[in-house]
Chain A
Amino acid sequence: MPTINDAKELTELFERRLVFVMGKGGVGKTTLAVSMAFAAEAAGKRVLLAETEDSQSVGRLFGEPGLTETPISVSKRIWIARINPKAELEAYTRFHIKSGFIARRVTRSRLFDYLSEATPGLREIMTLARTWRWEEERQKNGSPLYDMIIVDAPATGHALSLLRLPKMLIDMIRVGPIVSQIRGLQKLLKDDTKTWLTLVCLPEELPVKESLELINIARDELEIPVQRIFLNAIYPPLFSSEEAEHLKALMSEEESGPLFSAVRDKKGLRKVLHAARHQYSRRRINTQYSAQLRAEATGPIIEIPYYFKNDLNLEDLRRIASNCLDPEKRSQDDVHAGKHR
């Protein structure tokens, strides 16, 4: 099964204005969102990397745990922010209520507090509204303030309720000024020249299952298809299948077998063989679920190798950006996990 290693897969991604990075908990959404930001920056884009209110991963990574909705610069062309639906709702209210006096009274009232918590979907719609407003922000010369806005989305279930909202609210509210605005937002989300959903997946059973479900819901129900899938943390191939067979035979060998008899450090040999077996077993599982994903999902899949580290730091993420997400390199990259099977 060849990996489609087309540079276009990435250049097209970096031409979007708004990119959601989705996926099950623990699959590496933040890893991909940040690496994508580094890669887009390298491609000359001005990038805003935003996390949603329930997350602190981006802020923590950049040493900014108290991140707010005001973007701060963390690199030459990268800004980071954490979406705060309440602040957005206040901004929205101030914008829509002509009288500053009443606007202040409203935003300070307990009713406002309550409704902002309890009104169905208000937090979610304000999260989306924030990305929309960023998309519309312009520099003095009229060009966009951010070329690309990357959203490190919440875990699948919450992310779906987020994206379901515009339609739900349009049905629910039906008329009025807010509906026409939500329609505008919906238009942005459905415009695939501007907005893309991307999905991070691990080559394991549950993440693949959940990814396939999400792909279907996105296509059929949201009508915003998943455009790119990042298959994360793939164990790079190490042993050929002949070597694996050879090792298997050695492992089942008794201490009295030929190899064990020839080696004094029998305990050491067991440890070494155990480590080897672990890696080719993981590789085998990875290959099996990668194949399932490839067979059942449509659209390009971009592979990211496992880095044999528990926690990736910014340097590692820059490495992922340049090794796996650089369109120039990608077309000639032969160390990449996907090329060897």
Chain B
Amino acid sequence: MLENIGKPDGPKIIVCCGSGGVGKTTLSAAIGVHGAMTGLKTIVLTIDPARRLADSLGIAEFQEEAQRVPLEGVVAGNGELYAMMLDAKRTFDSLIVRYTPEKLQDSIFANRYYQHLSNNMAGSHEYMAMERLYEIYNQGHYDLIVLDTPPSRRALDFLEAPQRVMNLLGHQFFLKLFKPYMSAGRLGLKIFNLIASPVFKAVSQIMGNQAMDDLFSFFKLWNDVLFEGFRSRAQAMESLLSDPVTAFIAVTTPQSYPLNEAVYLYHQLVSRNMPFAGFIVNRVHALNDLAQLNGVFEQLTDTKMLDAGLLEKLKKAHARFLNLAESDSESIIWLRETVKDTIPVHTIPFADGEVNDLSGLVKILKHLK
């Protein structure tokens, strides 16, 4: 899965997707370390990462500006690693600053609809993650960008949410409906026609006039100054994600919920002709012939070196682990049968401890090669 990283035609962008709690952030960091180790100037974009992860990368804390991760002695050639934390609201704000004349910026920032959109609306975090990715890619400062997608219940949210945001903001129907009322001139007067319609009356009766006013003034600004910029960027982002410079990795654990989400994501990516690099199944209880014991418990009893209580506990621990290992193994077999033979499926054993330092991240990489 990682073998192409560093090759001339290898991926320049790696997007780690997966449902919440599967270990995406740690794996993204490990892949970033791998990038630097192969000599690439690499950046990991992440969201609200663990304290422990910042620690293991040897940086005080993640910040919104790119920070250099000290990797001396580990990296090859010109390899470097940077980490950056994503902030949806700030990214959105900086887009407004870029596309909007200065005199209009304050009114956008003060608009309640905008405030909601930029911070709270479902999909805005995912949209902004994509936006940052696009921006950093175009600046061309890095050879490899690893994106840890925002936490969500569903693995597909990252792909769908930006489209959803664009659908709302660039909705053809919306334009048709409101454009006549939004052209320059006396907005209030033109909106009057719309407001007089019974449908609209009913809706604003429910929503309240103030909310409708905010919505209108935001969309007027949006339409006048922002729409074109956003639309062309959204299209460019979409084509960047479909380009072979990008590789999607689906991260999961052996439980059925994240596993089904990962497979669903895979099917969606394939049907959209998007580049899929493989699955990582994290936290696997490795089977490794665990069931094959040649009389070890009897032999241990015979040695009389362990007391009976401890021996029983060892039996119990082994039985429990075996149980989980068998169940994990079934999940992985199912996954391999479900997806095409050519799709890589890597498994990472459930570690005894936590990843606390760089060597922990490097250890993970061993399983991805």
Contacts and interface: CB of A to CB of B under 8 A. Distances in A.
Contacts of B9: none
Interface residues of A, number: 80
B50 A206 contact: yes
Contacts of A157: 125, 151-152
A25 interface: yes
A93 B201 CA distance: 12
Contacts of A209: 50-51
Contacts of A154: 153
Contact of B207 (A115, A202, A271, A275): A115
Given A92-B206, A268-B293, A121 B299 contact: no
Contacts of A169: 211
Given A25-B151, A119-B215, A178-B206, A263 B303 contact: yes
Contacts of B256: 310-311
Nearest to B22: A26
Nearest to A113: B173
A173 B207 contact: yes
B323 to A, nearest CB: 6
B151 A120 contact: no
B295 A264 contact: yes
B152 A155 contact: yes
A24 B21 contact: yes
Given A258-B305, A265-B294, A268-B293, A155 B120 contact: no
Nearest to B257: A57
Interface stretch (A42-50, A276-284, A333-341): A276-284
Contact of B353 (A24, A156, A269, A285): A285
Given A92-B206, A111-B203, A25 B168 contact: no
Contact of B290 (A102, A121, A275, A285): A275
A239 B323 CA distance: 19
Contacts of B303: 259, 262-263
Given A106-B202, A238-B313, A310-B255, A272 B154 contact: no
A155 B293 contact: no
A105 to B, nearest CB: 6
Interface string B334-352: 0000000000000000101
B206 A96 contact: yes
B288 A271 contact: yes
Given A110-B173, A265-B295, A161 B208 contact: no
A268 B296 contact: yes
B318 interface: yes
Nearest to A102: B198
Contacts of B25: 206
Interface centre among B153, B214, B296, B310 (most CB of A within 10 A): B153
A263 B305 CA distance: 10
A301 B352 CA distance: 26
A155 B151 contact: yes
B259 to A, nearest CB: 9
Interface in B208-265: 208-211, 214-215, 253-258
Contacts of A246: 310
B294 A120 contact: no
Main secondary structure of the interface of A (DSSP, over half): helix
A210 to B, nearest CB: 8
Nearest to B330: A310
A109 B324 contact: no
A308 B326 CA distance: 11
A268 B255 CA distance: 27
A263 B297 CA distance: 9
A171 B208 CA distance: 12
B151 A24 contact: yes
B200 interface: yes
B322 interface: yes
B301 to A, nearest CB: 10
Contacts of A311: 255-257
Contacts of B318: 271-272, 275-276
B99 interface: no
A51 to B, nearest CB: 11
Nearest to A266: B296
A1 interface: no
A295 to B, nearest CB: 16
A103 B324 contact: no
Nearest to A117: B168
B171 A114 contact: yes
Contacts of A308: 320, 323-324
B313 A243 contact: yes
A309 interface: yes
A206 to B, nearest CB: 5
B112 A105 contact: no
A205 interface: yes
B299 A25 contact: no
A68 interface: no
20 contacts: A26-B19, A93-B202, A106-B202, A110-B173, A114-B173, A120-B211, A157-B152, A161-B122, A164-B120, A172-B208, A173-B207, A173-B210, A175-B208, A205-B51, A206-B25, A262-B299, A262-B305, A264-B299, A268-B292, A279-B317
Give the 3 A-B residue pairs with the shortest CB-CB distance, closest first.
A25-B20, A26-B21, A268-B296
Given A271-B290, A281-B353, 10 more contacts: A102-B198, A105-B199, A120-B120, A120-B215, A155-B20, A156-B151, A172-B210, A173-B210, A176-B209, A311-B255
